[in-house]
Amino acid sequence: MGLLMGKCFNIFGPVPTLALFLVPWVIMLFWRRPLFLVLLWPVLYLLKVLLPYSILNSIVFHKFHNLHILPMDLATFFTVIHLTFSAAFRSKDFASSLKENIFLTIFILLIGIYIVACTSLYGKSAIGEGRKLGAYFFFPLLTMVSIKEPKDLRQLISTLIFVAAFSATVSIVGIFVSKTIYKVISAEACLNLTLVAFSILVLNINGIIVIKRSLDKFMILMFFMLVFLNQHRSVWLAGMVGFILLLRLYRIQILSFQRIVYALILISGLFITAIIIKPDFGSSLVSSFQGFTDPSSDRTASWRMEGWKQQIDRVVRTKKVIFGEGVGGYYSWIDRGVEITVSPHNGYVQIFLKMGLVGLTIYALFVLTFFRKTLHVRKKIPPGYKKACLEIGIVNIVAAHAYMIPYGIPLFMLIFCAVSMSAIKLQLES
């Protein structure tokens, strides 16, 4: 054993060697306590969102055989192993989970087929891009085979709230350190704050207090304020769509008119204070809103839309509409004479470019099936925590799909999708 560790140490280095010998023990821990693996996803995602990649790479994650190891790769690796074990030793439960989410299963299999087929063309970049595109979709399947009791669902929701609260704290510290209130944290982090704020609001509407009533209201207000101050328009769009759906689901149950007036007065006072302290905040706010009314006048929005148009036109021109261009190839379009090779910042365009109409159709069927099932069960499920979790998923999935118009596929969308799916499973088994 010592000689083996010494050889591995010389070949891979200290950190990969230690990880290699710890892997079997970690696998057994997750097999005995699968909820730990479920909770690992949002915790690692917190590191991914808040810490620059250069810092993560220097501390833990290294380049392994010319393939960069990303923070979420650990969660994906152990999830794939756990699902493999579940298929082998709990085949009945695993097969039931696959059948309940047939289009999700097909979508994951399709990504796997694309990775295998495109590896001969693009090499390791096909594996790298394929795992980025499809890794998050393992999470709903993981929760379906791992969450067995309502307390597990409560623990997942509590972890998501903790992750959002920590992100909010980092945002507040960043405001004081950088002396700016403009995009202190990323759009993904702001989206997470929005979705968690909606979750707390839905729980409160269903008569469930997360911590204390006053603290719940404080978190909701703080999260929404930080989202507004950071001025990520994609998150504003998601917030507006989510709030409209909340009004549709609950009508006048959300807040009394008096509380709405109080909240508007408080928010207006904070905005006025921010403009007084930072005069450029007002001009940046106006510029951000202008991106909604006239996207072509905004540099970022017009840049993205031009990328969408050129790349979709290329797929149509090369007759790859049905199956797409595959994973592993570079995104590419020309903006003002400069070649751009970054992601197109649109989840729907991204799926279409890589997997064509086939992938986009299967993804749409997965989403439509999710809403058909959740809305059907919502009519029959009694009031309580499981119904609240069901409604959390409905609101947050709709809001996150609005976010996908100018950005990619966020993990928290699939986490809240998993929350609803697990609530349905627990209800059917009770």
Span between the terminal Cα atoms of the chain, in Å: 48
Show me where the domains of the chain are located.
Answer: 8-254+339-429
Distance CA 353, CA 315 (A): 7
Query: Which residues are CB-neighbours of 124 under 8 A, at least 6 positions away?
Result: 66, 67
Q: In Å, what is the CA distance from 45 to each residue of 70, 131, 154, 160? A: 10, 15, 19, 10
The yes-or-no verdict on residue 43 having pLDDT over 50 is: yes
pLDDT at 228: 81
Provide the pLDDT for residue 267. 57
Q: Which residues contact 427 (CB under 8 A, 6 or more apart)?
A: 377, 381, 386
Binning pLDDT at 50, 70 and 90, where does residue 143 land?
A: very high
Q: Which of 24-28, 237-241, 298-302, 354-358 has the lowest mean pLDDT?
A: 298-302
Q: What is the pLDDT of residue 5?
A: 45
pLDDT band at residue 368 under the 50/70/90 scheme = very high
Please give the average per-residue pLDDT across 134-159, as a whole number: 92
Summary mean pLDDT of the chain:
80
Instruction: Evaluate whether 397 touches 373 at the Cβ level (below 8 Å).
Output: no
pLDDT over threshold 70, residue 110: yes
Mean pLDDT on 229-238: 84
Mean pLDDT of 165-181: 81
Instruction: Reply yes or no on whether the pLDDT at 55 is more than 50.
Output: no
Q: Report pLDDT for 4.
A: 45
**Band of residue 280 on the pLDDT scale cut at 50, 70, 90:** low
What is the mean predicted confidence (pLDDT) over 367-382?
A: 92
**Contact at 8 Å (CB) between 161 and 208?**
no
CA-CA distance, 343 to 303, in Å (whole number)? 12
Reference 221, options 248, 249, 193; nearest CA is 193
pLDDT surpassing 60 at residue 277: no
> 236: which 2 tokens?
């504003």
Label residue 96 exposed, middle or buried (CB < 10 Å: 0-12, 13-18, 19+): middle
pLDDT tens readout for residues 309-333 = 888 888 889 888 999 988 887 777 7
Q: Which of 406, 326, 400 is nearest to 136 (CA)?
A: 400
Please name which of 249, 287, 274, 235 lies closest in space to residue 371, comparing C-alpha atoms. Answer: 249
334, β-bridge pairs: 339
Give residue 9's pLDDT: 46
- 1 has pLDDT over 50: no
SS3 at position 338: strand
The 3-state secondary structure of 182-193 reads: CCCCCHHHHHHH
Per-residue pLDDT, 158: 94
Query: Is it the case that residue 246 has pLDDT exceeding 80?
Result: yes
Q: Taking each helix axis from N to C terminus, what angle separates 187-205 and 34-50, rounded to the nearest 10 degrees? A: 130
According to the model, what pLDDT value does residue 270 have? 57
Stretch 84-108: mean pLDDT = 90
Kindly state the percentage of the chain with pLDDT values over 90.
34
At residue 129, the pLDDT reads 83
